[in-house]
Homo-oligomer: A and B are copies of this chain.
Amino acid sequence: MLNKKELIYYAVIDLFKNKANINNIKISDIAKSANMGKGTVYEYFRSKDEIISETILYIIEENTNKITSMFNHNQDFKINMLNHIKILLELILENSKFHSIFMSGEMSSLFDQDYEHKLMNKIMETKKHYFQILKTILNKGVEENKFNKVLDPYIFNAIGNTIFTSIMYYIHECNDNLEVESFIEKVYNLILKMVK
């Protein structure tokens, strides 16, 4: 059972998906979508900026948890990497608009200073956490002697971005009726080349 705050989060997430852009989301839309009065929304949040930025924090938290819990120490490098790409694909498919804003880093600029700061910190922290997961997965490959330990943070970054931009390409631009599994295999192979 969702509490009121979560009802509001999901209302905003819904509007993210359907409304063209974040700036056009109105409090009245959120209230209607959450099946409550406008006044009620303000019982749980102090301002629109707070609603939007906390929703973003909520999405980030949820997604990070899903990505983290996907890793399985008992599986080998390839399985873990394929699963990682798969879960990311699912999460992005569910809310691609959100993720492209998140990745572009343009999220921060939507709010007043205080919220921007809080949000930027969360994003930084999340990225660090994400690289930790990526490192854990890649270390599996090192253990399996597939390649040498990746030390350069630049490469970590490039791999992370490649996974994301590959998914965006698959969703938005890829025209050959490529099966999901083949696509994921392709990304996996490209990553292998990058770490070699």
What residues of chain A have their CB less than 8 Å away from a CB belonging to chain B? 20-21, 23, 97, 100-101, 103-106, 108-110, 116, 153-155, 157-158, 161-162, 165-166, 168-169, 172-174, 186, 190, 193-194, 196
Contacts and interface: CB of A to CB of B under 8 A. Distances in A.
29 contacts: A20-B108, A20-B110, A20-B116, A21-B106, A21-B109, A21-B110, A23-B23, A23-B110, A97-B106, A97-B109, A100-B104, A100-B106, A101-B104, A105-B168, A154-B166, A154-B169, A155-B190, A157-B165, A158-B162, A158-B169, A158-B190, A161-B161, A161-B165, A161-B169, A162-B162, A162-B165, A190-B194, A193-B196, A194-B194
A104 B193 CA distance: 25
- Please name the 10 residue pairs, one residue from A and one from B, whose CB atoms are nearest each other, closest first: A104-B104, A161-B165, A20-B109, A23-B23, A21-B109, A100-B104, A157-B169, A193-B193, A193-B194, A21-B110
